Structure 1
Amino acid sequence: MSKRDWDDAFANMAHVDGSEKLPGLWSERAAAYRQGSVRIDESLAYGTDARETFDLVWPDGPPKGLAVFVHGGYWIRLDKSYWTDLAEGARQNGWAVALPQYTLAPAARLTQMTQQIGAAIAQAASMVAGPIRLAGHSAGGHLVSRMVCEDSPLPAEVLARVAQCLSISGLHDLRPLMWTQMNADLQIDEAEALRESPALLRPIAGAKVTAWVGRAERPEFIRQARLLALIWEGLEADTKLMIEDGHDHFSIIEALKQADSPITEAFAK
């Protein structure tokens, strides 16, 4: 048993005042966005499982390409319906934005979720031509980083279109999660941690990856961002690290709704 309190290391809500109200706020704002004038194709299937669906948010004109945002929630909670409004910044920049969801633990293991996100992106890519840009938050940062590893589940023709990967507060070395209480649901073992941790894998040749994290986040998330950027730089990926002042684990994604914010520029400018 580890002597470090890994549950506290990953306990974002416990260290952000008022965070217990955030899921309700996210849900309300996303629902209001869906009721607006933006064209959104909801719950498009990419598989047969009930959660194997994605929403596709369209720009006003012909899309310049596909932007994908993968949600977080430690692989055990939340779904695409909480985040629809986060598509707005990329949408205003002319991108069609896919928001996939995936089967949660304990019903699925991380290995299955990786395959699901690959299938979701491939399906969305069949509907939108042009370059592909990936972004994900927290657990979603892990999943989009896995898409640009050498053993990516993406078909070669889809992977060749991926122009950028943005991991926001992403988890890139899964081994510490084995020491947490949530691993009762995740069921990560050493073999899966080695197989599914982006920082322990090789990126595809020419991968362009940005690890973005808030300076007010838990230190472990800053370490995880540094880890991916540093290790993949040594494997000749084009990596960038952004530690943004004034943001915690939850406020860090808010500016994705703005067309001209730095984080939107890194995603889909």
Structure 2
Amino acid sequence: MTDKRRQGAVTRRGRERNAPTTDEALLAKNGPDWMHNDPWRVLRIQSEFVEGFEALSSLGPAVSLFGSARARQDHPMYRSAERIARGLVDKGFAVITGGGPGIMEAGNKGATDAGGDSVGLGIELPFEQGLNQYVSLGVDFRYFFARKTMFLKYSQGFITLPGGFGTLDELFEALTLIQTGKVTHFPVVLFGTDYWGGLMDWVTHTVADGGFVAEKDLRLVTLTDDVEEAVEAMGIPGAPATAPEGSER
């Protein structure tokens, strides 16, 4: 790990690397100078949205791939992510990832190798990560919520491979926004039945059976191990999104 950390356009090294992240500073309890700091922070937040919208505004139909940063190149899911990304490009989609290593890198690599648009939306973290070498269009964000907005605004669908808390966060935020009608219905695929099967069993037999989500909400997700099925579930590039069969708006 190199002794540096990116903070938006700023790179910090040495003892400066220990400065709080932007999200950490935003969520910290307000001190006596909050009237001088927090209102002005809105301008920095605004700039993240402006930069993201400007960079991605000309991007064609795209699909976001989510998954672990920890997967090595010899991991089966790394190779699956490459194949999925190549299939998406062949179908006419750009590929968007979080721009980091692991499955994100595999998605960008597959898109680049197939001659497609390979987008990375990076995030400031306490440890150095940086955009992987296969990103052809990259945007670094300070704030998670600004970055999430870009995933949702510029994606026609999500394919989620195995990952940790960050992957789960992205998955459930997307499902919540679809379920509540805040965004247009678009396909969500969970790739890897061994990994996601237990979660879906719990959602089905504990959450849904307990009456905490509707049975129709379970149809918001496609669970598969088949690369072609995952790609086909994303629909036709640029076509209007439709609700899954049996679901309601």
Give the TM-score of the pair, scaled to structure 1: 0.33
Higher helix content, 1 or 2? 2
- Radius of gyration: which is bigger? 2
